[in-house]
Amino acid sequence: MDITKIKVIVCDLDDTLLRDNKTISKETCEYLIQLQKNGYRLVLATSRYRKEIVDYAAQLQMEHYGGFLVTSNGATVYNLKTGHREAFSALDKEEAQMLIRTGLDYGLSVHMRIGDDFYCQTVGLFRFILPLLKIFTKIIKPFASHKLEYLISLLHSIHFVRNLEEMSPDQVHKIVYLTPCGRLNPFMEYIQNTYQMKYHFFVVVNRTAAEICHSNVSKKNAVDWILQELGLTMENIIAFGDNSNDEMLLQSAGISVTMKNGSSRTIAKAKLLSEKTNDEDGVMDCLIKMGFE
């Protein structure tokens, strides 16, 4: 393993760089800042939206050291040094409306970001469960753990609506589908069979949720764009991830590490496996043992 070629460190956030309480440890933070001081570029590549991760970027001093954010599974890249934003292949309004309508027809609840707010049209059990959870979690929030507090804050950021299709903006980066009843597979098969390979699904949370975007949107393609800007190639990066939305990037990176706590599917495809989990500072442990300083 030749780490001398590595110039860029790419990290997923949830279940990779972040501990279970959704924080970066002081030790990992200080170590990654030191690596940036020594010339490495840092990229955070996540399914989250920008406003959910800017505090982590600030904690890691990424703007000062020329870091990048890859958000919405690769739909958007932010150059924190210059402020430049590069967007890739958003869903247009008609596509989004079709995908919302079809998801609802298959009994899925549909979630979408519009502006800085999140909206959800619920069906079936979710129509009753999510609003009740919103009330219940408001009561228990003062007593919640950090991890549960994060999930509660996500729930309370959602506006429940009756007609999400009518609210669809001109461009949408991704649409999220939720179901407690294992209905994702028939829906995904229908979309893939009807529209060939036009869309790509990222399945999360034990197949109870899936995100859809155009097939050319991925963390790997977004990182490719960053590397072209820097005059580098995939052999110049080390990438860390844990789930299906990381797999294309992990397969392409010069060095790739799948987290010990990753999904079984992603672990099965791993080139390297971390010795420690995300909750044990697995990213830092791996970089230190490889000799990054």
What is the three-class DSSP state of 189?
Answer: helix
**pLDDT > 90 fraction of the chain, expressed in percent and rounded:** 76
Tell me 286's DSSP state.
H
Q: What is the DSSP letter of 273?
A: B
Radius of gyration of the chain (CA): 19
The stretch 259-267 carries a mean pLDDT of: 94
Name the pLDDT band for 137 (thresholds 50, 70, 90).
low
Topology classification of domain 106-214 = 3.30.1240
CA distances in angstroms from 274 to 16, 208, 220, 241, listed in the order given: 10, 26, 20, 10
Give the orientation angle of helix 126-140 with respect to helix 146-156, to 10 degrees: 130
Q: Which CATH number fits domain 3-88+217-290: 3.40.710.10, 3.40.50.1000, 3.40.50.10140, 1.10.1060.10?
A: 3.40.50.1000
* Separation of alpha carbons 196 and 215, rounded Å: 10
Strand partners of residue 77:
70, 86
Chain mean pLDDT for the chain = 91
Residue 221 falls in which region: left (phi positive, over 0), alpha (psi -120 to 50) or beta = alpha
pLDDT at 129: 72
From-to residues of CATH 3.40.50.1000 in the chain: 3-88+217-290
Note the pLDDT of residue 124: 74
Within the chain, all domains assigned CATH 3.30.1240.10 are found at 106-214
Q: Which of 6-15, 148-157, 158-167, 247-256 has the lowest mean pLDDT?
A: 148-157
Q: What confidence tens digit (pLDDT) does each residue in 85-133 have? A: 999 999 999 999 999 999 999 999 999 999 888 999 988 776 777 677 6
Q: What value does the mean pLDDT take over residues 47-61?
A: 95
Cα–Cα distance measured from residue 280 to residue 20, given in angstroms and rounded to the nearest whole number = 10
On the question of pLDDT at 138 being above 70, the answer is no
Please report which confidence band the pLDDT of residue 154 belongs to, taking 50, 70 and 90 as the band edges: low
